[in-house]
Amino acid sequence: MAKIKTAFFCQNCGVESPKWVGKCPSCGEWNTYVEEVIQKEVNQKGSWKSGTLAPKKNSQPKRLREIDYEAQSRLITGDVELDRVLGGGIVPGSLVLIGGEPGIGKSTLMLQIALMLASTKILYVSGEESENQIKMRSERMAYQSDNCYVLSETNTQQIFQQVDLLKPELLIIDSIQTLHSQYVESAAGSVSQVRECTAELMKFAKETGTPVFLIGHITKDGAIAGPKILEHMVDTVLQFEGDRHLSYRILRTSKNRFGSTNELGIYEMHATGLKPVTNPSEILMTQREEQLNGVAIGAMLEGNRPLLIEIQSLVSPATYGTPQRSSTGHDAKRLNMLLAVLEKRGGMRLGQQDVFLNIAGGLRVDDPGLDLAVCASLISSYEDSPVDPRICFAGEIGLGGEIRAVNRIESRIAEAAKMGFKKIMLSRYGLKSLNTEQFSLEIVPVTKLEEVYRHLFL
């Protein structure tokens, strides 16, 4: 009998150690090392790695120019938001990982996609819900499909036996942390099990050309649970975000081998499932019956999509000593920089003021083109004077108080015109090669913060 081999793994970052240590040398967390069995068993029937189900393949090196390549057509899901985030559809043989907080809608989105692809044979494997629970959820959705098969199983060897019989065109695993392989004797969800199960699924996806979706849990810090190698192994990593107490969900990609990582998808949660939001600018701007100070509309870009977003700020005297600086959805360091520019170049006394900044709609933004809208919102709250609701802003603020040009200004202007705005304030330096007569709204060119202040409040 072979000697059982064990090792210690950090449950936070997945680093392996031959002995137990109190503090992980990689991530710095305490008491996260757990002993796991790493001795693999002999080949067992039904595993994709055993060779009983895997096709025979000759592995020989080839010259790069001798490799025959044919562009593969992507599988269009019909969900415009998911197709955009994936880069134009599902790539055959790809391994996609989607993570998010509990209750955010990961399983709902995947089941909805399985039902939407009525002409594609799909196997939905669930290790968290019974078949009756999945059926109950599907009854609430507006889609029906005769090609959606459901399997409630956690053993990868049993799953691959059913895959070999059914031969699905798309495989969905819910979730990767619930699977366990007979090759590893650790508990399901451990570092060794997650790594082994993902490796088997990746081998299956690449050798058969079948796309595989993995639903992943996240830790309390918001990172995907399991070893970091999990995100390295997959082709695409999607993050499903949003407050589960609100109806809007945001799907963004942090890694994509087949497309851009700057795309964004927005959904609205209904009783019948997730509905794609085709015009997100409407939900990102609050409908108000009266003008309020501290509110400005900025034109931003999220990937290739132009969005109009509402910036809300509150500037009030600090009554408890040290002034507070708080931002929700915006970089706090960039807010401090803009406040310093307003105080140094604009003459505003903000050193003894509490400043609170909020991005409406629950979105996180990092586009420097929103600097001008943030400054207009801060000035409006400081002066207690509202900004004209018919004007929006797009410009980056330099340390000298100058208004710098931003990229893809035509898309921002077109989005503002579509939403009914009458004016847009831009940097003069970005209008040199732009034909302003083709737009229906008035373009206000500015170069410094002083010009912005005079145009808005004088």
Contact 46, 155 (CB under 8 A): no
> Tell me, what's the pLDDT at 47?
61
279-288, 353-362, 436-445: range with lowest mean pLDDT? 279-288
107 marked ligand binding residue:
yes
Mean pLDDT calculated for residue range 244-264: 83
Per-residue pLDDT for 433 more than 80? Answer: no
pLDDT at 251 over 50: yes
- At 286, the pLDDT band (50, 70, 90 cuts) reads low
28 is in an annotated binding site: no
Average pLDDT over residues 254-270: 87
101 appears as a binding residue in the annotation: yes
The predicted model gives 113-139 an average pLDDT of 93
pLDDT band (50, 70, 90) for residue 1: very low
pTM of the model: 0.77
- The predicted model gives 233-239 an average pLDDT of 93
Tell me the average pLDDT of the chain: 87
Of 69 and 93, the one with more pLDDT: 93
pLDDT given for residue 45 in this prediction: 45
The predicted structure's pLDDT at residue 41: 47
Using pLDDT thresholds of 50, 70 and 90, give the confidence band for residue 13. confident
Average pLDDT over residues 44-66: 65
Task: Tell whether 280 is in a known binding site.
Answer: no
Tokens of 279: 């015009």
Q: What percent of the chain lies above the pLDDT cut of 90?
A: 48
Q: Is the pLDDT at 244 greater than 70, yes or no?
A: no
383 pLDDT higher than 70: yes
Residues 303-318 have a mean pLDDT of 89
Residue 278 has pLDDT above 60, yes or no: yes
If you average pLDDT over residues 240-256, what whole number do you get? 83
Q: Is 22 annotated as a binding residue?
A: no
Dump pLDDT digits (tens) for 319-347. 887 899 999 989 999 999 999 999 998 88
Low-confidence winner among 2-11, 128-137, 181-190, 327-336 (lowest mean pLDDT): 2-11
Residue 436 has pLDDT above 70, yes or no: yes
17-28 average pLDDT score: 88
Q: What is the mean pLDDT of residues 80-102?
A: 92
- Annotation-wise, does 303 bind a ligand? no
pLDDT digits (tens, 9 = 90+) for 165-214: 999 999 999 989 999 988 887 788 888 888 889 999 999 999 999 999 99
Q: Any known ligand binding at 102? A: yes
Query: Would the pLDDT of 361 be above 90?
Result: no
